[in-house]
Chains A and B, each alone.
Chain A
Amino acid sequence: MTRTEIFDQVADIIADHFEVERDGINEQLNFKQDLDADSIDFVEFVLELEDTFGSEISDEDAEKLNTIGEVVDYIVAHQAEQK
């Protein structure tokens, strides 16, 4: 899957989960500051990512993810590791 495809899928999940406009989602969007996400929102989101991309994101790694760009980078890197 290309980086753009991954971003599109992540953005779809964000739009649905956080009820925000799909068009306004960009890589710089910050979960806490821009989406007002609390810890429960974030765990739900991480689980949805795991279901979608089929790989496990450890709690330690998840804590380091602050922006959508970082999430996409993480999935791209993890995808490469799996190959």
Chain B
Amino acid sequence: MKIAVDAMGGDYAPAEIIKGIEQARDAYPDIEFLVFGQEDQVKPLIQNDTRITLVPASEVITMEDEPVRAIRRKKQSSIVLAATAVKEGQADAFFSAGNSGAVLAAGLLIVGRIKGIDRPGLTTTLPVLRKPDQSSFVMLDVGANADTKPFNVVQYAVMGQYYAQSVMHVDHPRVGLLNNGTEADKGDKAHQAIYQALSGINDLNFIGNVESRELLNGAADVVVTDGFTGNATLKAIEGTALSMLKLIKGEIMSGGLGGKIGASMLKPVFKNVQQAMDYSQYGGAVLLGLKAPVVKTHGSSKAPTIKNTIGQIHELIQTESAAKLVSYFDQHTDEMAALKESLK
């Protein structure tokens, strides 16, 4: 399998990207990499070019570039060339740590949607804490679309189910709709309509509404929501976790000698907490619903996260997750058309 990599995107690019790619190359003997970037910067960083082909890209899309405009204008950029390689069948997946909007736009506009899927959904994996039989869950859309229609959320449920089966290896993932209460009549009219639509899909294990406070307790394996709410929820989770750590640290520092001695004894515990909350171990965010996997990691990613993300992409390609979605939506065109009509 071949993965097209944007070497120029991310806070530590291209050095950490190349380092991560080399680690992944050593860990996965069946992956070949097409690395797109500025030759003079990238070439000296490659220690061993086994299964790594550098493809020169003279332009770079920066964090400041307006996404769609950049995709249309900077045709020689690493993002556009890498996505084009996937479109043309030279690579099986596209990976970047660069400008999120541009990566999403390249995925949508260059790699392209699966026929029958109206909008792709950005999918992230988050930890489940202290539950013996579940360590993580997926949530989508976490921000690919600002204006989501109810029908899009219904399609996210099917896409999320396939993702959980392929990558998390959950046979019958429990799919929940993020809402402001668990009862069926909760939420606005759109959420009530989505609830009804999801209840009617036969091969979906829809368990009803879930509340945001229960997410990290493992309320569902797949949580679906609109892009605006998903993004706000994701940031609230991240922000709360960071603020809690800050609060604990502040209390220890101002707690005198006793506090510090207590904290030093609890050091391994804090380390475990940090490890449990570190969701970079699950890789990057996947733009689901495209003809091939498009994966974006955090801009601050370093080599270990890059390697983890390549592992996740390996799983996505190996389990033929995109092909499974193509065949589902191909076989359910009438059902989807009826659902779309009913949700208008």
Using a CB–CB cutoff of 8 Å, the interface residues on chain A facing chain B are 38, 40, 43-44, 47, 59
Contacts and interface: CB of A to CB of B under 8 A. Distances in A.
A59 B96 CA distance: 26
A38 B147 contact: yes
A38 B108 CA distance: 14
Contacts of B72: 47, 59
A40 B146 CA distance: 11
Contacts, number: 13
Contacts of B147: 38
A44 B111 CA distance: 11
B131 interface: no
B119 A40 contact: yes
* Dominant secondary structure of chain B at its interface with chain A: helix
Nearest to B119: A40
A26 B109 CA distance: 26
A44 B69 contact: no
B245 interface: no
B68 interface: yes
Interface residues of B, number: 9
Closest 7 CB pairs between A and B?
A: A47-B109, A43-B68, A44-B109, A43-B109, A59-B69, A40-B108, A38-B147
Contacts of B108: 40, 44
Contacts of A47: 72, 109
Contacts of A38: 147
Given A38-B147, A59-B72, 11 more contacts: A40-B108, A40-B119, A40-B145, A43-B68, A43-B109, A44-B108, A44-B109, A44-B113, A47-B72, A47-B109, A59-B69
Contacts of A40: 108, 119, 145
Contacts of B109: 43-44, 47
A59 B72 CA distance: 9
Nearest to B110: A47
A21 B72 CA distance: 30
B225 to A, nearest CB: 19
Interface in B91-112: 108-109
